[in-house]
Copies of this chain bind each other. A is one copy, B any other.
Amino acid sequence: MTAKNAFYAQSGGVTAVINASACGVIETARAHPDKIANVYAGRNGIIGALTEELIDTSQESADDIAALKHTPSGGFGSCRFKLKSLEDNKREYERLIEVFKAHNIGYFFYNGGGDSADTCYKVSQLSEKMGFPVQAIHVPKTVDNDLPITDNCPGFGSVAKYIAVSTLEASFDVRSMAATSTKIFVIEVMGRHAGWIAAAGALVEDEGIPVVTLFPEVEFDQEKFLAAVDAKVKANGYCTIVVSEGCHWPDGKFLAEQGTRDSFGHAQLGGAAPVVANMIKDALGYKFHWAVADYLQRAARHLASNSDVEQAYALGKAAVEKAVEGKNSIMPTVVRTSNSPYAWEIGEAPLSEVANVEKMMPMDFISDDGFGITQKCKDYLYPLIQGEAYPPYKDNGMPDYVTLKLAAVERKLGDFEL
């Protein structure tokens, strides 16, 4: 069998470690030249395949590919673009196969969350039917940590570490000043549907910090919340609040959509943090500060979890190894074999069982009062934030992140309207 090319694409919101998976894919592919001739990457994700904007990764030096392991963001570009169902939009799938055929691509590595798992699954199905079989392997990635079967999703562990450490540091700050100044610190974290990241903030309880956490899984109860905060301030002099961006009222409306308006009467997009902070000020009178971490959290490669970086790389590597072994329509997974000390190995899941299944945070991870996490949750989380995998820094004090050349592969097909 002559070697075929591989196609790799990054999907959805990028993370601190998605490039580590890219590094795992490309380095491992380079070690199998008998099976994989070249890895083409999609410029800006799957859109790059549809528009035939492929990046020739063979033009990138070994050092630059290695540097992906410590560089946050999506080195090849990413996009939020979900292919529609096969019935509604067969032409997009057919175009994908056409591009794969034109560039002799026999392997499809798709690095993303639930939507990309679904696309990956469909490509594996359709390519067979269309007489150009492509081995489609999904490489898991999402800070939302909501893919099934795998112990966790690369990207989540690093956000969790960043939020846990940052919440602790800011809480120490407030503790220092609380006797005469700020008594409330509110930090808003990502997670529109699931409270995984908020749960990481709640870990500071183990460091002696009085903390109240607001999860998307628990309907917001203003009275109960204010009572919980007030009790903590009265007992400890201060209180930290971790609020998920997905925290919502019983009617489903997000706290962040409080209907705030600027002086011209325009609806103002706010965050949940200022809403919560002002609510406390109005009801309890406590001086507050608030932070919205936004992209800082998912891009914070400077404080990546070593567990996370190692797993991101290992899953990219395993994807290629499994492809070379002839596997198709699967996703390599992390299998936890021990909590303490943390031990894990690589497993695999059929894409048919991954696609369109969302793993929610188990309700027994949230404490009875709804404002904290259980020991079971802590046992799950700590291993994922273990170890520090610092990037190298330049002499000037800035991190030595790589920007790739991104050389274009010559096009062979006509234009395609997205």
Contacts and interface: CB of A to CB of B under 8 A. Distances in A.
Interface of A: 10, 13-14, 16, 44, 47, 71-75, 77-81, 161, 164-166, 168-170, 172-177, 179-181, 185, 187, 203, 206-208, 258-263, 266, 268-271, 273-275, 277-278, 282, 289-296, 298-303, 305, 307, 382-388, 390, 393, 395-399, 401, 403
A279 to B, nearest CB: 9
Given A207-B398, A289-B295, A263 B260 contact: yes
B291 A73 contact: no
A93 to B, nearest CB: 19
Contact of A398 (B14, B47, B385): B385
A390 B387 contact: no
Q: Most chain-B Cβ atoms within 10 A of its Cβ — which of A80, A295, A385, A398? A: A295
A72 B181 contact: no
24 contacts: A14-B173, A47-B180, A73-B169, A74-B177, A79-B181, A80-B177, A81-B180, A168-B399, A169-B302, A170-B294, A170-B296, A187-B296, A258-B262, A260-B261, A268-B268, A268-B278, A269-B274, A269-B277, A290-B294, A291-B294, A291-B295, A384-B397, A386-B397, A390-B390
A291 B298 CA distance: 12
Q: Give this chain's copy count.
A: 2
Contacts of A300: 166, 169
A377 B273 CA distance: 34
Contacts of A395: 386
A78 B302 CA distance: 29
